Amino acid sequence: MGRNRATLADVARRAGLSKTAASMVLNGREGTRLSAEAHQRVFAAAEELGYRPNLAARSLRTRKTATIAFVSDIVATTRFAGDLIRGALDAARERDHVLLITETQGDATFEQYAIEAVLDRQVDGVIYAAMATRRLTVPPAILGGPVVLLNATSPDGLPSVVPDDEGAGRAVATALLELGHRDAIALIGRNRLKEDDPEVSLAARARLHGIRQALEEADVNLLAECFCTEWLPEHGYAAMRGLLSKPKRPSAIICMNDRLAFGAYQALGEAGLTVPDDISVISFDDDPIAAWLRPSLATTALPHEQMGRRAVELLLDDGVAEPALVPMPLRRRRSLAPPAG
């Protein structure tokens, strides 16, 4: 890989100058007193030789690698990971940086290994990402340098980027209220574990809080709240069936995520009910299936790509103290309608 590359010494020789001069010119150093002609000659020589600096040599001296570590608990499981990475990748490229990716798989040994691997490579900073929004404790070893938490918070008060789930909760409830839904709104996806243990989820509690807040302000009570052990389609399906077996049918359903909503759709379809004419559905995440469903599912989007960006910005750009609570835009789709009758 890349032997025969021209070195700085080659450039200097060709330009008839010293390595020092060549280095200074190519790095655009201010305050150097090299002549315009010297600049010319160096640039020309570099151009002609196709010179590219050896970053290993450079970082040996400068202790900078233009490399960011992206350490996450689980890359693959969720399809959102890709967006998080892509956002980070884009922002990193704009700043001439590159991403070193490792995965801990939630395993302490792997984590240890990942941390060592990136520290050994002298990365300029670490983005420590969780695939589900939650609280976590970062290994002390990385605290020696800049760290940003992505989709996570920590007790240490490190800078972090998380989605505004509470705002999304309010937006979701408000959207229904505005359509005229009142006391026949049901909620699918309550989950004590997720709501009470911040190390499992921060989203569940925040979403719930946002929903309740908006409803309270409108003086509306939930018709029903269904608990689900997981947020998967089958649980949404079961919950929806449960709701439909009760005397009072809801006019609208809020699902804690799109997979639950997908399950709810299935149960509604089987029951011969139509979305949104019989029942409106709204949800969280904006998983791709939300747009694929018939009718398309209204939901609040997890802005993963933007979060990835934000994390890089927080890490590399100093002086950005902007809020790292990233808004979750509401996607209004066809699953919403005013209550029937």
Return the residue of 1, 28, 30, 37 that touches DNA, per CB under 7 A.
37
> Rule CB under 7 A: is residue 38 a binding residue for DNA?
yes
Footprint (CB under 8 A) of a second copy, residues 66-105: 67, 70, 75-79, 81-83, 85-86, 89, 93, 98-103
Return the residue of 14, 17, 69, 236 that touches DNA, per CB under 7 A.
17
* CB 15, CB 44: distance < 8 Å: yes
Residue 20 contact, options a second copy, DNA, none, Cβ 5-8 Å cut-off depending on partner type:
DNA
> Rule CB under 8 A: is residue 247 a binding residue for a second copy?
no
Q: Which residues contact 85 (CB under 8 A, 6 or more apart)?
A: 70, 75, 99, 101, 308
Residue 327 contact, options a second copy, DNA, none, Cβ 5-8 Å cut-off depending on partner type:
none
Question: Which CB sits closer to DNA, 51 or 70?
Answer: 51
Footprint (CB under 8 A) of a second copy, residues 284-303: 288-289, 292, 294
* Long-range pairs of 2-11 with CB within 8 A, sequence gap ≥ 24: 5/51, 5/52, 5/54, 6/49, 6/50, 6/51, 6/52, 7/51, 7/54, 8/51, 8/53, 10/45, 10/49, 10/51, 11/42, 11/45, 11/46, 11/49, 11/51
- CA proximity to 145, closest of 65, 53, 58, 55: 65
Return the residue of 133, 146, 228, 264 that touches a second copy, per CB under 8 A.
146
Residue 101 contact, options DNA, a second copy, none, Cβ 5-8 Å cut-off depending on partner type:
a second copy
Rg of the chain over Cα atoms, rounded to whole angstroms, equals: 26
Question: Which CB sits closer to a second copy, 308 or 339?
Answer: 308
Which range of residues in 47-55, 66-74, 110-118, 149-157 is near DNA by CB under 7 A? 47-55
Return the residue of 1, 28, 30, 61 that touches DNA, per CB under 7 A.
61
Per rule CB under 8 A, count of chain residues that contact a second copy: 65
Work out how close the CB of 25 gets to DNA at its nearest, in angstroms, rounded to a whole number: 9
Residue 331 contact, options DNA, a second copy, none, Cβ 5-8 Å cut-off depending on partner type:
none
What does the binding site for DNA look like in residue numbers (CB under 7 A)?
Answer: 5, 7-9, 16-21, 23-24, 26-27, 32-35, 37-38, 51-54, 57-58, 60-62
What does the binding site for a second copy look like in residue numbers (CB under 8 A)?
Answer: 1-3, 52-57, 59-60, 63, 65, 67, 70, 75-79, 81-83, 85-86, 89, 93, 98-103, 110, 113, 116-126, 142, 144-146, 232-234, 237, 259, 262-263, 266, 269-270, 288-289, 292, 294, 305
